[in-house]
Structure formats: C-alpha cells, structure tokens
C-alpha cells in the first residue's frame, strides 16, 4: 500500500491551499468526489454566492496570488441594499466585494495547487471511511466505478466542507459524553437563478423572521440574478423559500421563471467553541472545521487561511502533537475573527437591535 504524508479530502479553497502549501515538499493526495474534467460552464460548481470579501482579497494578496480575469463575473457592484421586512426599513451600505464565478475560482485554485510538484489529484473519487492507527490512517476511497480501495497516509485532512464526513466520524469516535462537543448550527441554503430582467446595481440582503433567523440575498451574476436563503434545517425549507419569492416580487423585483436551482448545507458557528480542528492524525480545515462567519456566511477567506496554516504545519513533518500545536497557533487569529463576527451577529439578527441600527443610519449611505 502506498503511503502519503497527507490525504486531503476536498478540492475546495481549503483543500487546494493546503495541497499547494504542503505539496512543495510532502506527498499529498487530493481527493475530490466531483468530476473536475467537465467544463465549468456545465454549472456543477459548489453552491455559493461567489463574493470575495476584503479579507479574502487580503489573504490572496498575502499568498502572492492575483485573480485571473476568467474568474471575475459581471457586474462588479459596490453597495448592498439591505431590506428589513421585520421592521419595514431599508438602507444602502458601501461594500467592496469582488463578484466571481465560483466554478472558475475553484478550478483556478486547483491549478495553483497542482503547480506544487508533490500533489496528486484523484477526482471522481469519494472518501467513504477511515481508521486511525498509531502511526498512520487507513483511508477507504470509492471510485466512480463503485470499486473501493484502501490507502495509507500519515495524516488525513477533512477539507470536505459543511457536510464533512471526516468531522462526523471524528465526533462520533472522540466526542463521547464526557468530552467537550463542538456544537454548530446547520442550515439548508437554497439558491435559484433567474434571467436578469432589469439591472441590479447592488447586492440585496433580506431580513425576514418568517423566512429565517439568518438572512436571504439577491446577487446579480453573469446576466442572471441569484435569489438565495439560508433556512434552518428541518424548518419547511421549500415553503419558506416560496414565501420569500412572493415577498421579493411584492417589493417590486421582477423575477421570472428560475433557470436552475442549487442546494447545500451551510454551517453557522455559535462562536470559537464551534471550531473543531481535529484530533491525533486527523485534522479539519475550512468549513469542515466550523471556520465560517456567523454573521455573513462568508467562508472562502477562512478556508484559504486555514488550509494554508495546516499546510505550513504539515511541512514541518513533526509529531501529531507538534503539528496540532502549530496549526492551533496559526488559526488563533481566525478564531478571534470568528468571535467578533459572532458578536456582530447578535446585533444583526435581533430585529429590535437591527431596527435601531437601521433607524440611526449608522454607516449607511444615500443612493439615487
Ligand atoms: C449558498 C452559499 C453561498 C455562499 N456564499 C459565499 C460567498 O459569497 N462568499 C464566501 O466567502 N463564502 C460563501 N459561502 C461559504 C463558502 O462557500 C464556504 O465556506 C467555502 O466554500 C468553504 O470552503 P472549503 O474548502 O472548506 O469547502 P468546500 O468549498 O465546500 O469544498 C469541499 C469539497 O469537498 C468535496 N467533498 C466533500 N465530501 C467529500 C468526500 N467524502 N470525498 C471527496 N470529496 C468530498 C466537495 O465536493 C467539495 O468540492 C457560501 C456558502 C453557501 C452554501
């Protein structure tokens, strides 16, 4: 059986940055269940709003990476129109996101990872289980043909996103009744893509407790408009989304017939206590670790930073304890950031407090 330094589950931003960093000197197998050979235009990318916030932009800058133009999506807009149905108010806020095509972004990240000489990619392959031993982890892979095989690795990394199998199995194994758990909320996020019938020169954030205790959004993208919502799992997601569409149309937005739909699980941390970085020879990075903003659903910057941090820790080739210690230190700043976002979210998602902020006009701007 071949032995890798690390098997990385998931070729999203966390997995790609990890492979790119550690793959300079360590043998890395990057496993991805999607078919990465189908053209991006077929639209099988991860469900995402595809907005790069200033922190993600800064992270890319620190990594010495510049976005190629194929990743950009039009239009690039610079304001958010926030509509609060709970208190019947609306405001505009300046916002400096970069609007991207998420499929193209992921492919570009992958091409950056594959520049590192020791990265091997295995797509159309799913990690279906693993067993940690003292000196290695045995990982079970299932190929597109349904055939399973085992491989050995010194470390296993779950960069497998919100529905992480690696995290689930770790929690089942190690979080017994006497061990601390890492509670995290799960949402179902539904997005529908509509033909653009009128110009939308801003992003829209929608707050309505009848839809969700989180938020909904509209994003203009490449001649279409995405309407999306993150709704608590198990809370009549479809019915609430229908209600949202009705609300949005009643506000005057013209939405025709949706051309496509995407669904995904989205995690919402309570705070730094929701972050689980792994145990022993099994680590977690990106959203699988619970690293995603609790106030805005933005997770790309956390994925890039945590993937890089774990990649750097693995490069040292230390013991599992040394690797974990180094990784923990490097993500400390991310945890602080998450704590701040969690505090912000208390204000943003309490209708009374949010209503008071809207009334004050704090940080808002006038738009013609
Ligand atoms: C609707 C929606 C909108 C969002 N909008 C934004 C936004 O505008 N800006 C932003 O910054 N963030 C946004 N996010 C969050 C962001 O998409 C994620 O936080 C980010 O993609 C996390 O990156 P990751 O690398 O950790 O995981 P992912 O990007 O989820 O990648 C995980 C990869 O692992 C693969 N995988 C999973 N399980 C297995 C397995 N068992 N075997 C093999 N492969 C596997 C998956 O196919 C996937 O490619 C949004 C999320 C959602 C759901």
Per-residue pLDDT tens digits for 253-298: 999 999 999 999 999 999 999 999 999 999 999 999 999 999 999 9
Please give the Cα distance from 217 to 305 (Å, whole number).
25
Give the pLDDT confidence score for residue 256 in this predicted structure. Answer: 93
Q: Which of 12, 104, 112 to mutate to test the pocket of ligand 1 (most atoms within 8 A of CB)?
A: 12
User: Which ligand 1 atom minimizes the distance to the CA of 266?
Assistant: 53
Domain boundaries, the chain: 3-360
What does DSSP say about strands 260-269 and 137-143: parallel, antiparallel, or unpaired? unpaired
Coil, strand or helix at 172: helix
Q: Ligand 1 within 6 A of 106 CB?
A: no
* pLDDT of res. 174: 79
Between CA 299 and CA 230 the distance in angstroms is: 14
C-beta of 10 in contact with ligand 1 (< 6 A)? yes
Whether ligand 1 lies within 6 angstroms of the CB of 14 is answered as yes
Q: Is the CB of 50 under 6 A from ligand 1?
A: yes
3-360 topology per CATH? FAD/NAD(P)-binding domain (3.50.50)
Ligand 1 and 290: CB distance under 6 A: no
What pLDDT is recorded for position 240? 98
C-beta of residue 164 within 8 angstroms of C-beta of residue 299: no
Quote the pLDDT of residue 179: 61
pLDDT tens for 15-54 read 999 999 999 999 999 999 999 988 888 878 899 999 999 9
Copy the structure tokens of residue 296. 């805005």
Q: Per residue, what are the HEC states of 36-49?
A: CCCCHHHCCCCCCC
For ligand 1, atom 52, name the residue with the nearest CA: 48
DSSP state of 11: -
* 60-107 per-position pLDDT tens digit: 999 999 999 999 999 999 999 999 999 999 999 999 999 999 999 999
Structure tokens of 111?
């091409």
Cα–Cα distance for residue pair 32/199, rounded to 1 Å: 37
- Per-residue pLDDT tens over the stretch 194-226: 999 889 999 999 999 999 999 999 999 999 999
d(CA 366, CA 368): 7
Could you tell me if 229 and 240 are in contact, meaning their C-beta atoms sit under 8 angstroms apart? Answer: yes
| Listed residue (301, 286, 297) closest to 59, CA to CA | 301
Nearest in space to 164 (alpha carbons), one of 276, 332, 272: 276
Is there an atom of ligand 1 within 6 Å of 126 CB?
A: yes
pLDDT at 367: 87
188 close to 265: Cβ distance less than 8 angstroms: yes
All residues at 6 or more sequence positions from 316 whose CB lies less than 8 Å from its CB, including other chains: 322, 323, 326
The least confident of 111-115, 172-176, 194-198 is: 172-176
């Amino acid at each position: 059986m071949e032995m890798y330094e690390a098997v990385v589950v998931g070729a999203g931003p966390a997995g790609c940055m990890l492979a790119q960093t550690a793959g300079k000197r360590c043998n890395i197998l990057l496993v991805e269940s999607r078919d990465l050979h189908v053209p991006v235009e077929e639209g099988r990318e991860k469900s995402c709003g595809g907005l790069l916030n200033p922190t993600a932009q800064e992270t890319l800058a620190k990594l010495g990476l510049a976005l190629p133009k194929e990743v950009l999506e039009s239009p690039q807009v610079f304001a958010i129109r926030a509509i609060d149905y709970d208190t019947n108010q609306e405001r505009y806020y300046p916002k400096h996101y970069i609007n991207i095509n998420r499929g193209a972004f992921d492919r570009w990240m992958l091409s950056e990872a594959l520049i590192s000489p020791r990265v091997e990619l295995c797509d159309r392959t799913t990690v279906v289980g693993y067993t940690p031993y003292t000196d290695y982890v045995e990982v079970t892979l299932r190929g597109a043909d349904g055939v399973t095989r085992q491989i050995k690795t010194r470390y296993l990394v779950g960069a497998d996103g919100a529905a992480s199998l690696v995290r689930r199995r770790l929690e089942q194994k190690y979080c017994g009744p006497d061990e601390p758990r890492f509670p995290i909320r799960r949402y179902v996020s539904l997005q529908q893509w509509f033909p653009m019938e009128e110009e939308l020169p801003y992003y829209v954030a929608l707050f309505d407790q009848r839809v969700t205790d989180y938020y909904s959004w509209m994003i203009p993208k490449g001649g279409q408009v995405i309407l999306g919502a993150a709704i608590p799992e198990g809370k009549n997601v479809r019915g609430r989304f229908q209600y949202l569409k009705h609300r949005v149309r009643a506000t005057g937005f013209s939405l025709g017939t949706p051309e496509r739909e995407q669904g995904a699980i989205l995690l919402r941390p309570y705070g730094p206590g929701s972050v689980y970085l792994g145990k022993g020879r099994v680590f977690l990075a990106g959203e699988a670790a619970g690293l995603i903003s609790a106030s805005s659903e933005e997770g790309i910057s956390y994925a890039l930073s945590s993937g890089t941090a774990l990649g750097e820790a693995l490069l040292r080739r230390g013991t599992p304890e040394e690797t974990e210690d180094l990784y923990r230190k490097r993500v400390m700043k991310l945890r602080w950031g998450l704590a701040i976002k969690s505090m912000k979210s208390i204000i943003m998602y309490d209708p009374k407090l949010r209503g008071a902020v809207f009334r004050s006009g704090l940080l808002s701007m006038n738009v013609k």
